[in-house]
């Protein structure tokens, strides 16, 4: 009998909405957990975050986060509905929710109450800032957290060029919070094997946003006089690590050591650059980054096929890539080879789990729950 995945037999009650929580529970569901997604009567608000919408009127935003889950609705403000939830929790392993701090407690469903009744239950809360502290209990949203924790301050073109702080083009804070929530759940389940006890797991957007600041946070903590700022596509520590103009479309070079730099110079027909004392080490290349960029772009101007150049360089050991748009990335032959676009039935297509297990891989069993009816 084939396994549904490494988490087969794990029962998860998912009360979360929008992104961080649903992303977490989709990870668990892809790897075999039985996830019951319980929405409020009006449904998860992301069902309306379109276009595009599917044939049933559900937005792609919702579809991308909720496959492999069973669906139900509850109005937890009603005592009878809370009793139904408690019945479901009786044999559940994990509860995931992202209610505002105090809401479940008001309904008699806080961690302390649930832990006393269901001591093995792992209770995971995705929150904005945690329950206490100066911002405790406040709502958190991805873009606002990006602004608050400094992510926007380091994203965009340099101020000297008139650049303004920019939000990342994807909701990185929500996504990494979902990942950390899933990781925390697995830590708690592993510990439960020894103690027999569940525990409270919290993944806060604020904490996770701060965790994304490497190497800018590390740079500043070591040297407080160093104030990280916007550098466009360039790396604050590594050179050449930036977009570079060619004779066609730009190429991204991500050259991390002296050996790679030598291979780059050889590959573009300028071996003398690797012997130039100004560029003999990364530290020196960092000091002379503007000069190096001018020299490299002058040499790269002779190449009128960026795709071919990038392919040749990367096969020679130079980390680099052409800059693809989303359709090109999803249609890339390697995307197909890695099985990274999954289809379920006739109507669902989504990005597959990036977590690859050799014996118990992710499985794709059912599409997202249908739209609840009032």
* pLDDT tens digit sequence for 320-330: 999 999 999 99
- Rounded to whole angstroms, the Cα distance separating 158 from 14 reads 42
Domain count of the fold of the chain: 2
Same domain for 272 and 343, yes or no, is no
Q: Is residue 246 part of a domain?
A: no
Same domain for 258 and 174, yes or no, is no
CATH number at residue 273: 3.30.1540.10
Question: Which residue did the predictor score with more confidence, 127 or 371?
Answer: 127
pLDDT > 60? residue 147: yes
- The two beta strands, 251-254 and 241-244, are antiparallel
pLDDT > 60? residue 180: yes
Same domain for 255 and 194, yes or no, is no
Confidence of residue 374 (pLDDT cuts 50, 70, 90): low
Same domain for 310 and 175, yes or no, is no
| Segments forming the whole domain that contains residue 304 | 251-322
pLDDT > 90? residue 372: no
Neighbours of 367 (CB within 10 A): 21
Q: Tens digits of per-residue pLDDT, 10-62?
A: 999 999 999 999 999 999 999 999 999 999 999 999 999 999 999 999 999 99
In the chain, % of residues over pLDDT 70: 99
pLDDT > 80? residue 348: yes
Please, what is the angle between helix 172-195 and helix 20-30, to 10°? 50
Same domain for 189 and 58, yes or no, is yes
- Rounded to whole angstroms, the Cα distance separating 367 from 139 reads 30
Q: Helix or strand or coil: residue 205?
A: helix
pLDDT > 70? residue 333: yes
Q: Is residue 370 part of a domain?
A: no
Q: Is residue 241 part of a domain?
A: no
* DSSP assigned state of 53: B
Locate the DSSP E strands across 47-108.
Answer: 69-73, 94-97
CATH number at residue 64: 3.40.50.10540
Same domain for 165 and 307, yes or no, is no
Q: Is residue 359 part of a domain?
A: no
Instruction: Look at residues 253, 273, 251, 252 and name the one whose alpha carbon lies nearest to residue 262.
Output: 273
Confidence of residue 159 (pLDDT cuts 50, 70, 90): confident
Q: Tens digits of per-residue pLDDT, 70-127?
A: 999 999 999 999 999 999 999 999 999 999 989 999 999 999 999 999 999 999 999 9
Same domain for 179 and 271, yes or no, is no
Same domain for 32 and 77, yes or no, is yes
In the annotation, is 174 catalytic? Answer: yes
User: 267 phi and psi, to 5 degrees?
Assistant: -70, -25
User: For the chain, what is the mean pLDDT?
Assistant: 95
The tokens of 278 are what? 């100004």
Q: Tens digits of per-residue pLDDT, 200-224?
A: 999 999 999 999 999 999 999 999 9
Report CA dihedral (348, 354, 355, 357) to the nearest 10 degrees. 80
pLDDT at residue 1, rounded to an integer: 42
Same domain for 302 and 346, yes or no, is no
Same domain for 177 and 278, yes or no, is no
93, burial (CB in 10 Å: exposed 0-12, middle 13-18, buried 19+): buried
**Residue 13 β-bridge partners:** 36, 95
Same domain for 184 and 80, yes or no, is yes
**Residue 12 β-bridge partners:** 35, 94
pLDDT > 90? residue 2: no
Q: Is residue 27 part of a domain?
A: yes
**Cβ-contact 364, 68 below 8 angstroms:** yes
Q: Point out the catalytic residue in the list 14, 174, 207, 242.
A: 174
Same domain for 62 and 100, yes or no, is yes
């Amino acid at each position: 009998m084939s396994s549904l995945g490494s988490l087969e037999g794990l029962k998860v009650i998912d009360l979360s909405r929008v992104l961080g929580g649903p992303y977490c529970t989709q990870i668990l569901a892809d790897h075999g957990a039985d996830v019951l997604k319980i929405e409020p009567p009006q449904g998860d608000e992301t069902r309306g975050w379109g276009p595009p919408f599917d044939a049933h009127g559900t937005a792609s935003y919702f579809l991308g986060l909720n496959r492999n889950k069973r669906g139900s609705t509850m109005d937890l403000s009603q005592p009878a509905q809370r009793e139904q939830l408690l019945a479901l929790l009786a044999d559940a392993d994990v509860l995931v929710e992202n209610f505002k701090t105090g809401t479940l407690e008001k309904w008699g469903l806080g961690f302390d109450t649930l832990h006393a009744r269901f001591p093995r239950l792992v209770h995971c809360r995705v929150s904005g800032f945690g329950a206490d502290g100066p911002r405790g209990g406040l709502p958190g949203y991805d873009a606002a957290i990006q602004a608050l924790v400094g992510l926007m301050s380091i994203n965009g073109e340099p101020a000297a060029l008139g650049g303004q702080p920019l939000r990342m083009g994807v909701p990185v804070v929500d996504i990494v919070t979902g990942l950390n929530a899933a990781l925390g759940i697995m830590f708690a389940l592993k510990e439960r094997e020894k103690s027999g006890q569940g525990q409270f797991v919290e993944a806060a957007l604020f904490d996770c946003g701060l965790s994304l600041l490497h190497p800018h946070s590390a740079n500043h903590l070591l040297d407080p006089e160093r104030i990280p700022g916007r550098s466009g596509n360039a790396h604050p520590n590594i050179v050449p690590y930036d977009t570079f103009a060619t004779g066609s479309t730009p190429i991204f070079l991500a050259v991390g050591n002296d050996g790679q730099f030598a291979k780059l110079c050889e590959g573009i027909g300028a071996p003398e650059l690797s012997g130039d004392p100004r560029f003999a080490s990364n530290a020196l290349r960092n000091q002379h980054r503007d000069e190096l960029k001018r020299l490299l772009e002058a040499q790269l101007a002779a190449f009128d096929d960026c795709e071919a150049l990038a392919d040749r360089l990367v096969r020679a050991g130079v980390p680099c890539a052409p800059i693809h748009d989303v359709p090109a990335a999803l249609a890339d032959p390697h995307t197909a080879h890695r099985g990274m676009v999954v289809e379920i039935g006739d109507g669902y297509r989504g990005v597959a789990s990036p977590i690859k297990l050799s014996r118990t891989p992710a499985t794709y069993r059912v599409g997202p729950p249908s739209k609840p009816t009032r």
